[in-house]
Amino acid sequence: MAALETYEAWTNADWLETIEITGLDPAYDRTQLRARMQVRREASSTAAVLTASSTSKEREMRFVTDGAGRLALTISIAQARMAAIQPAAHVRDILIFYGGSVIHSGFGPVMINQGVTRD
């Protein structure tokens, strides 16, 4: 998951994304995995404009497996939260934790687009 593809999101829609997790040691108990994401205006910034987690009450990040046992991380952020983000190019970090340690990480660009609604 190290290098993430550019993800495009809109201020008038939910962020719905699934990222396949590869290279994770099968010895890890998947029920104990945790994830966290920060979206920032630029890589050097310390201020996040959006955060999501698998441990928050909203559970905007979840680990899922398909019928073949492949692991993926789903991200589901409501449109109401997306509407508060300034449309622009951003960057994101995703960290996967197990037992309090970072075991997997990813970094990549995010383009937040202004949503347009037409009647």
Q: Is residue 83 part of a domain?
A: yes
pTM, whole model, 2 decimals? 0.89
Question: Residue 32 has which token pair?
Answer: 């104990």
Please, is 32 exposed, middle or buried when counting C-beta atoms within 10 Å of its C-beta (0-12, 13-18, 19+)? exposed
Gap between the Cα atoms of 29 and 3, Å rounded: 24
Residue 54 inside a domain? The answer is yes
Q: Among 84, 83, 81, 64, which residue's Cα sits nearest to residue 73?
A: 64
Provide the residue range defining the domain that includes 73: 7-113
pLDDT in tens, 32-44: 999 999 999 999 9
pLDDT of residue 24: 84
Asked whether residue 118 is domain-assigned, the answer is no
Domain count across the chain: 1
In a domain, 76, yes or no: yes
CATH code of the domain covering residue 56: 2.60.40.10
| Residues 30, 104: Cα–Cα separation, whole Å | 13
pLDDT tens digits for 45-103? 999 999 999 999 989 999 998 888 889 999 999 999 999 999 999 999 999 999 889 99
For residue 1, is it within any domain? Answer: no
16 lies in some domain: yes
Does residue 2 fall inside a structural domain? no
Is residue 73 situated within a structural domain? Answer: yes
